[in-house]
Amino acid sequence: MTQQYETVFIMTPVLSDEQMKETVNKYKKFLKDNKAELVHEEKWGLRKLAYPITKKSTGFYHLLEFKSEGSIISEWEVTFKRDERILRFLTVSLDKHAVAYNEKKRSKKAQKVEENKEA
């Protein structure tokens, strides 16, 4: 059964822009190769961490929201664990309320962008 998931991962701050894009593309390709549907993607940029991870106090945050079979999640997370560019990651399964909330949030954001274009 297809389920909707959201993964936020933090990449090490020592990556160049090119390495960061390469890392994100690696995970997007993983989803595509495993017949998952990418619903939404957000680049949150460089942010301060709540506590140091491997002596680093900042990291590049990225969010991927996707629909897939639950069976790929364990392999998905192993891929993150093996990647030295990833400091932390979290994958959560979204219930119907979370999906509706995310869609509502995105439509509000799109509406604001549209209003700004008109102004």
Q: For residue 110, give the 3-state DSSP assignment.
A: helix
What are the residues whose beta carbons fall under 8 Å from the beta carbon of 28, sequence distance 6 or more?
38, 41, 64
Measure the CA–CA gap between 47 and 64, rounded to whole angstroms.
Answer: 17
**What's the pTM value of the predicted model, to 2 decimals?**
0.87
Per-residue pLDDT for 93 more than 80?
A: yes
Start-end of H helices in the chain: 17-33, 73-82, 96-118
Show the domains of the chain with their CATH numbers. Answer: 2-118 (3.30.70.60)
List phi, psi (to 5°) of 103.
Answer: -65, -40
pLDDT band at 119 (very low <50, low <70, confident <90, very high): low
Per-residue pLDDT for 75 more than 70?
A: yes
What is the percent of the chain with per-residue pLDDT over 70, rounded to a whole number? 99
Q: Which amino acid is at 104?
A: K
Q: What pLDDT, in 10s, does the model give residues 20-35?
A: 999 999 999 999 999 9
pLDDT band at 107 (very low <50, low <70, confident <90, very high): confident
